[in-house]
Copies of this chain bind each other. A is one copy, B any other.
Amino acid sequence: MYPGITISDIARHEDQEVTLAGWLYNMRSSKTLHFLQLRDGSGIIQCVVYKPEAAEEVWNLCSGLTQESAIRVTGKVRKEPRSSIGYEIAVSKVELVHQAVDYPITPKEHGVAFLMENRHLWLRSRRQHIILRVRAAIIKAIRDYFDNNGFTLVDCPILTPNACEGTTTLFETDYFGEPAYLSQSGQLYNEATAMAFGKTYCFGPTFRAEKSKTRRHLMEFWMVEPEVAWMDLDGDMDLAEDFLVYVVGRVLEKHEKELAELERDVSFLKNVKKPFPRISYTDAVKQLQSLGSDIQWGSDFGGDDETILTRQYDRPIMVHRYPAAVKAFYMKKDPSNPDLALCVDVLAPEGYGEIVGGGQREDNYGVLEASIQHHGLPLEAFKWFLDLRRYGSVPHAGFGLGVERTVAWICGLQHVRETIPFPRMLEKIWP
């Protein structure tokens, strides 16, 4: 037995009798009518039971149905212009498969804490359903973009032997007697695979054991990271721009109606077109100061700065060339000013903050070695990474895009907790 006809396919069965298997999402009744909202995971359809025409046991069974009970509904598919999917079912038969008693998430309002405790059930709600379908669409668009543009997917490891940038925000485990850490980024490995495959990307979960409880942080989140040999910072910005335009375009093409159901104002998304403004960090600081921020050259942007800055623009902006001192050891310095790193952050509009971070990597052996030592990192752990500068070193660049922040931005969500099926937060690892 394999599932049969689904609600998403119902248009192909107009005027036919079908049997749908699903759950009772909601119901309202009058003296002579039951309106069952049946959900099957692919959609929701109204099933109408008309007492004068229904068998008595069907009418009575429906009268006793409860929310989220599992049922099979048989009836004729008929056009219904008032329905959002254009069809409804004129019910002839209902079979009760499992009666749900006291389903905890009723159509009334619930607090977020309660809903998060019941995340395994909350996923059945229309709003969560849409968000996670949009998430899946974003992920598919991301993969299609790279697969169709000559990139090879090369998965990077999660378990890594070295704490590359300090252990304070790393999850540690015991690897048969040795400490190992959960990866925060596949980038170092990506640099090796880019030298083998030219254009490469990895896409997997990443981990950050950060004791922060903000609307933008998760302990476990998904990140896609392209890396390209022979590409410089300008190429990296071209790639990030082209990629984001594609991803947002694909989601709008297929899910604009669902975004509207989330009450997302899609006009900002429709503005995601080339070119994105490219602003140097130094100019961004000046602009922020003129807008009243007390930021000083040399420090990283705070969330407020990002919000103030992005609200000046109608699309994502690319801020490049941050002070090298606030960036990672592997960033290439700007040859025209070694205080600057050849890096770029893409900030989403409307205050959604950084969604992409990347840049050109240091490709000179001696400079990278000095940088590793300057950061107090163990050279031995980076021997393989340095090897990439020993054997056919070439300019290369890449970036990382965080999936959950991107979902939050595209769906217009204030908090990332709804952007992933089972969020892992500071005090939340259940269910």
Where the two chains meet, the residues of A that have a C-beta atom closer than 8 Å to any C-beta of B are 1-3, 6, 8, 21-24, 40-42, 68-70, 97-98, 100-101, 103, 118, 120-121, 123-124, 128-129, 132-133, 136, 139-140, 143, 147, 150, 152-161, 171-176, 178, 180, 182, 189, 192-200, 204-205, 207, 209, 211, 219-220, 222, 228-232, 234-235, 238-239, 363, 384-385, 387-388, 390-395, 420-422, 424, 426-427, 429-431
Q: Taking CB as reference atom, which chain B residue is nearest A242?
A: B2
* B192–A70 touching, CB < 8 Å: no
Q: List 6 A-B contacts (CB under 8 A).
A: A3-B199, A21-B229, A98-B394, A121-B387, A159-B220, A171-B175
Complex Cα spacing A71 to B153, Å = 25
* A195–B124 touching, CB < 8 Å: yes
* A6–B150 touching, CB < 8 Å: yes
Q: Which 5 A-B pairs have the closest CB atoms?
A: A41-B198, A2-B235, A384-B431, A120-B192, A123-B196
* A391–B103 touching, CB < 8 Å: yes
* B70–A3 touching, CB < 8 Å: no
* A204–B204 touching, CB < 8 Å: yes
Complex Cα spacing A188 to B124, Å = 16
- Contact flag A193-B42 (CB < 8 Å), given A3-B228, A98-B394: no
Chain B residues near A422 (CB-CB < 8 A): 156-157, 189
* A424–B157 touching, CB < 8 Å: yes
Chain B residues near A393 (CB-CB < 8 A): 70, 97-98
* B205–A101 touching, CB < 8 Å: no
Complex Cα spacing A329 to B235, Å = 53
Contact of A173 among B139, B173, B363 (CB under 8 A): B173
Contact of A8 among B69, B150, B232 (CB under 8 A): B150
* A154–B421 touching, CB < 8 Å: yes
* A1–B235 touching, CB < 8 Å: yes
Chain B residues near A385 (CB-CB < 8 A): 120, 431
Complex Cα spacing A87 to B381, Å = 42
Contact of A2 among B42, B103, B238, B384 (CB under 8 A): B238
Complex Cα spacing A228 to B3, Å = 8
Q: Within the complex, what minimum Cβ distance (angstroms) separates A277 from chain B?
A: 20
Chain B residues near A197 (CB-CB < 8 A): 41-42, 123, 129, 132-133
* A222–B2 touching, CB < 8 Å: no
Complex Cα spacing A388 to B23, Å = 12
- Contact flag A220-B158 (CB < 8 Å), given A6-B198, A198-B3, A234-B1: yes
Complex Cα spacing A425 to B60, Å = 61
- Contact flag A222-B392 (CB < 8 Å), given A2-B228, A2-B238, A232-B1: no
Chain B residues near A40 (CB-CB < 8 A): 198
* B98–A392 touching, CB < 8 Å: yes
Q: Within the complex, what minimum Cβ distance (angstroms) separates A379 from chain B?
A: 14
